[in-house]
Structure 1
């Protein structure tokens, strides 16, 4: 089941990633974390923040394949294949995934029938094996 109170990540898309990183560091005090997770730049949010924030860069003229804007990621527990199947039964689709994040888990992106994208995060101990 996907729980709304388990928001675990906000993915923000930027046409100028360096400017966005500098902006969040100056305005919010959230510098970039020196970690390499695909094309993501993870920001250092306060310890009491219940979710992470990452920035993905792309060129203005590019149609970025992973997002239509801000993508909230929710942690799931239980039957991940069943959740993905239910997405399709309800007219949605799996856009991509699994995307393994060694040491963390796996990411998936699903889209509802109206085109809204939602990220799904399964902890490593709960994630399905990669295809």
Structure 2
């Protein structure tokens, strides 16, 4: 996997969340949540994002939990169209890599956080991880 988010400043400690033993998750992967209290690497645009993997999880290692950051300042990679400071952003999995992010459209769900600087396609930038998943439809 490429373009993993890199922790710059921790705002709160990572918490343990459930994951599948058979799943491999890279450190810095953007994670989506499912029931019950379970995370996996995002695989689509506007997934229900919950946080970022704080460490690597190796597939079939017997572990069923992974520490997850729910808030913090990270270095993200901008996807197609880039990022504008102050704007909310979401994953760009459908057209970019699993960890690229783009500006969220008005009324879009699956918000990862807020851009703290502007970036062009494939450029890195500081972003505030602060996921929100309102149901707007």
What's the TM-score once normalised by structure 2's chain length?
Answer: 0.27
Structure with higher Rg: it is: 1
What's the TM-score once normalised by structure 1's chain length?
Answer: 0.28
